[in-house]
């Protein structure tokens, strides 16, 4: 599935929502303006990625990390984003931690459940496999395979 | 720009694993566990789509989940910013509807948007 960058758009509904929430009530947005903003957003992602990747490469890392993105924002002159991004990242990390603990807890519960020999296989066997993967993932920045 | 985290965390609360179902990422990277799990919380834009865009860059090999999230979040901030900046031009024109030309004006006038010049249809 060879997708060209031009073909990858962000979902209109979400873009529209973000725009609406940023503007005061009573303001409308033409379809063309919305489309242009959506395109601009895609370009932004590509540009930010490229910039961030440069930092990763400079540091001889193959994996792009959050720090690289922060550096990219600075480089792109979007310093105003840094603070909100840092806060969001903190919340995200906490959320990740919570999920990991939750899935570990689930797994423990499951083991307890399975031992009495219950044949109740109904529950997500898939989930079990998935959790294996999660366990293997590194703590900090689980890597997503973005390999080309 | 009051994009506080609490504002985004609307699904409010402790209903943690509503993980309906973490789809296994079969290597395609399209709808991975990230998309399912995080989307309803802190990022409005789907991480899977963001990641797909990142993958379009041949120089990018691996990207941490966090970096994908941060780029998604930054993109959201970017959309907010450009919409507000364009609005100024609409208002100057005494309009209540944001139009394409307002975007063009903002792009031309604002340094941070210089990278957009010549990129939009």
Domain membership of residue A136 (yes or no) is no
Residues in A closer than 8 angstroms to B80, CB to CB, are 18-19, 21-22
| Substitution target from A10, A21, A45 for chain B, most B beta carbons within 10 A | A45
Total domains present in chain A: 2
Q: In the predicted model, what is the mean pLDDT of chain B?
A: 79
| pLDDT at residue B30 in the model | 45
Residues in A closer than 8 angstroms to B57, CB to CB, are 46, 49-50, 53
Q: Are residues A82 and A54 both part of a single domain?
A: no
Whether the per-residue pLDDT at B21 is higher than 50: the answer is no
pLDDT digits (tens, 9 = 90+) for A109-136: 988 888 765 555 554 444 443 443 344 4
Domain membership of residue A20 (yes or no) is yes
Whether the per-residue pLDDT at B55 is higher than 90: the answer is yes
Domain membership of residue A17 (yes or no) is yes
Domain membership of residue A37 (yes or no) is yes
User: How far is B84 from chain A, CA to nearest CA, in Å?
Assistant: 6
| pLDDT at residue A121 in the model | 52
User: How far is A1 from chain B, CA to nearest CA, in Å?
Assistant: 10
Domain membership of residue A32 (yes or no) is yes
User: Which has the closest alpha carbon to A42: A11, A1, A83?
Assistant: A11
The complex scores an ipTM of: 0.73
| pLDDT at residue A116 in the model | 66
Whether the per-residue pLDDT at B27 is higher than 50: the answer is no
pLDDT, greater one: B12 or A102: A102
pTM of the model: 0.72
User: How far is B13 from chain A, CA to nearest CA, in Å?
Assistant: 11
Indicate the SS3 state at residue B64.
strand
| pLDDT at residue B3 in the model | 45
B46-to-B41, B104, B108 alpha-carbon distances in Å: 11, 27, 29
* A61 class by beta-carbon count within 10 Å (0-12 exposed, 13-18 middle, 19+ buried): middle
Greatest Cα-to-Cα distance within chain A, rounded to the nearest angstrom: 62
Q: Are residues A25 and A60 both part of a single domain?
A: yes
Whether the per-residue pLDDT at B96 is higher than 90: the answer is yes
Q: Residue A41 corresponds to which tokens in the numbers above? A: 């957003």
User: How far is A107 from chain B, CA to nearest CA, in Å?
Assistant: 12
Q: Residue A66 corresponds to which tokens in the numbers above? A: 């959050």
Q: From A37, which residue of chain B is nearest by alpha-carbon distance?
A: B79
Residues in B closer than 8 angstroms to A92, CB to CB, are 38, 42-43, 66, 69
Q: Are residues A3 and A55 both part of a single domain?
A: yes
Q: From B42, which residue of chain A is nearest by alpha-carbon distance?
A: A92
Q: Are residues A3 and A39 both part of a single domain?
A: yes
| Substitution target from B62, B91, B108, B117 for chain A, most A beta carbons within 10 A | B62
Domain membership of residue A119 (yes or no) is no
The residue-averaged pLDDT of B28-51 equals 68
| Core vs surface per residue B13-33: b (16+ CB within 10 A) or e | eeeeeebeebeebeeebebbb
Low-confidence ranges of chain A (pLDDT < 50): 123-142, 145, 147-148
Q: Are residues A60 and A89 both part of a single domain?
A: no
Domain membership of residue A36 (yes or no) is yes
Domain membership of residue A118 (yes or no) is no
| pLDDT at residue A99 in the model | 85
Q: Are residues A56 and A84 both part of a single domain?
A: no
Residues in A closer than 8 angstroms to B119, CB to CB, are 39-40, 43
Q: Are residues A52 and A99 both part of a single domain?
A: no
Instruction: Determine the structural domain holding residue A46 and report its residue range.
Output: 1-64
The CATH number of residue A5's host domain is: 1.10.20.10
Residues in A closer than 8 angstroms to B103, CB to CB, are 33, 36-37, 40
């Amino acid at each position: 599935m060879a997708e060209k960058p031009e073909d990858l758009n962000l979902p209109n509904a979400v873009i529209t929502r973000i725009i609406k929430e940023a503007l005061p009530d009573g303001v409308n947005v033409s379809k063309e303006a919305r489309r242009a903003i959506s395109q601009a957003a895609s370009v932004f992602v590509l540009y930010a990625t490229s910039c961030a990747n440069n930092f990763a490469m400079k540091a001889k890392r193959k994996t792009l990390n959050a720090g690289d993105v922060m550096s990219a924002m600075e480089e792109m002159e979007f310093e105003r984003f840094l603070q909100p991004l840092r806060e969001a990242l903190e919340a995200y990390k906490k959320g990740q931690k919570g999920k990991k603990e939750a899935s570990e807890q689930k797994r423990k519960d499951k083991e307890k459940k399975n031992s009495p020999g219950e044949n109740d296989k109904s529950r997500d066997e898939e989930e079990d496999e998935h959790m294996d993967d999660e366990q293997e993932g590194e703590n900090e920045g689980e890597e997503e395979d973005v390999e080309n | 720009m009051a994009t506080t985290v609490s504002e985004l965390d609307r699904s409010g609360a402790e209903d943690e694993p509503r993980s309906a179902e973490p789809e296994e990422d079969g290597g395609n990277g399209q709808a991975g566990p990230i998309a399912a799990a995080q989307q309803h919380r802190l990022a409005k834009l789907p991480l899977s789509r963001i990641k797909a865009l990142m993958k379009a860059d041949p120089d990018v090999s691996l990207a941490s989940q966090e970096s994908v999230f941060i780029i998604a979040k930054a993109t959201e901030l970017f959309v907010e910013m450009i919409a507000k900046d364009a609005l100024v031009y609409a208002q100057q024109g005494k309009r209540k509807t944001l139009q394409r030309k307002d975007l063009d004006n903002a792009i031309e006038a604002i340094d941070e948007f210089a990278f957009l010049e010549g990129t939009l249809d």
